[in-house]
Structure 1
Amino acid sequence: MSPRGVAIPEVRRQLFDAAERVLAREGPAGLSGRAITREAGCATGLLYNHFGDLDRFLTELFLDRALQASAELGELIRKAGTATVADNLANAIDALFGTNLLALAGLALVRPSLTARLHESVGEGVLRLDLNEAVLTAYLDAERDLGRIRPDTDTGSLAVALAGSAHQLLLTGGPHAPDLRERMRRVVNALVAGIAP
């Protein structure tokens, strides 16, 4: 419901989008139920009526964005053999930056209670923390099978290096750092140069 008692369609999506805007603008410290609902233009109690508490809301937001990112990253495997390996990887990681998933993952560093909720989701099989790494590995395996990278490439370790680099750049520069994507592209190019056949 809005402050005037009028039903709000797609409340979940509206609150999720508002939370991402608050996170981008004010960082993790600015994420409160009041700030999120104010940004969404709805009554403060709406978030708590739908989710119970802020940690449950943030857990649901993270899971929603993780599924969205996984779907986008999943397209990477279909791109094996097209364009260049470096371009495919850089574009796929750009998609992760676009979902704010990595910024949301950083919330766990400042909200230990959120970490516990996310671990519950992992235990229930709802969330795979290594999914992005697994997709990157599968893509690199496919490129190795096509002969576009060296046959002795340790694709699993390279996937960890790519995912870790994305996390590091995001956590140190923020999701809206002007050179975030360019820096990540340079990392990708440097890593891929070492596995060229």
Structure 2
Amino acid sequence: MPRGVAIPEVRQQLFAAVERVIARDGPGRLSGRAVTAEAGVATGLLHAHFADLDGFLAAYAVDRAFLVSAGAGALAERVGTGEVAGNLCEAITATPPSTLGTLAKLLVARPELAARVHAVLGDRTAGLDAIEHAAATYLAAERKRGRIPAHASPEALALAVVGALHHLVLTAPDDVHARLRHVITALLGAPARRS
């Protein structure tokens, strides 16, 4: 890329590139050069927008954790409507599974980034924590309405759903929605419907 040429939405271009690098090579092979090469931009561009690679990765993690939080936050609007398992599955998978998987891999490889995400977004409102909190709150509201069994533990169900989601985005990112829906339906004790 020639010097001095403006690149619209450069942050999102670099964020998309880091996802492709992690998906292809894993977080262990992550470098500023790998990201800028994947994005097709000059190597200095990353440092023109971020102090260093860690600052860039923290910004990426905050951005994607915010997306996850927003999707999970939509659960509050669904209380008392539709099918509980469907509502839960749709809200949880609102963020593409590939993005969830990339974020999870990055945070496992660089756990110090999780603290930076929490510092910006707050506790229980970032990434998988946001999903767990939103799911538990949603399930508690549905239990009050009698839409899930009275003996059900919203907190335990939410943790189980997040555990299943985490496993699926790391091992089977192409089949997350259908398998997660099946797990949620089984956890709620309703007969599973095959799609």
TM over 0.5: yes
Structure 1: state its 5+ residue gaps: none
Matched residue count: 187
Structure 2: state its 5+ residue gaps: none
| Percent identity of paired positions between Structure 1 and Structure 2 | 47
* TM-score, normalisation: structure 2: 0.85
Which amino acid is the alignment partner of residue 2 of structure 2? P
Q: Secondary structure at the match of 1:13?
A: helix
Alpha-carbon RMSD: 2.2
Q: Which residue of 2 aligns with 1:19?
A: 18
Residue deviations 1:31-55, cap 9 Å, x none? Answer: 3212211222211111122112212
The Cα shift of 1:119 comes to 1.5
Q: Is the 8 A contact 1:81 1:146 kept in 2?
A: yes
Paired with 1:172 and 1:69, the residues of 2 have a C-alpha distance of: 19
2:43 is the counterpart of 1:48: no
In structure 2, do the counterparts of structure 1 residues 125 and 53 end up closer, same or farther at CA, with 3 Å as the change threshold?
closer
Q: Is the 8 A contact 1:79 1:88 kept in 2?
A: yes
Q: Is the 8 A contact 1:14 1:40 kept in 2?
A: yes
Residue deviations 1:74-131, cap 9 Å, x none? Answer: 11111122221111111122224447134312213223xxx22432443x35343522
2:29 is the counterpart of 1:68: no
In structure 2, do the counterparts of structure 1 residues 87 and 172 end up closer, same or farther at CA, with 3 Å as the change threshold?
same
Residue deviations 1:128-149, cap 9 Å, x none? Answer: 3522211001111111121111
Residue among 165, 188, 195 paired with 1:192: 188
Q: Which residue of 2 aligns with 1:126?
A: 121
* Matched ranges for 1:141-156 at <5 A: 141-156=140-155
The Cα shift of 1:29 comes to 3.4
Paired with 2:175 and 2:121, the residues of 1 have a C-alpha distance of: 33
* TM-score, normalisation: structure 1: 0.84
The Cα shift of 1:28 comes to 2.1
Q: Secondary structure at the match of 1:186?
A: helix
Q: Is the 8 A contact 1:22 1:35 kept in 2?
A: yes
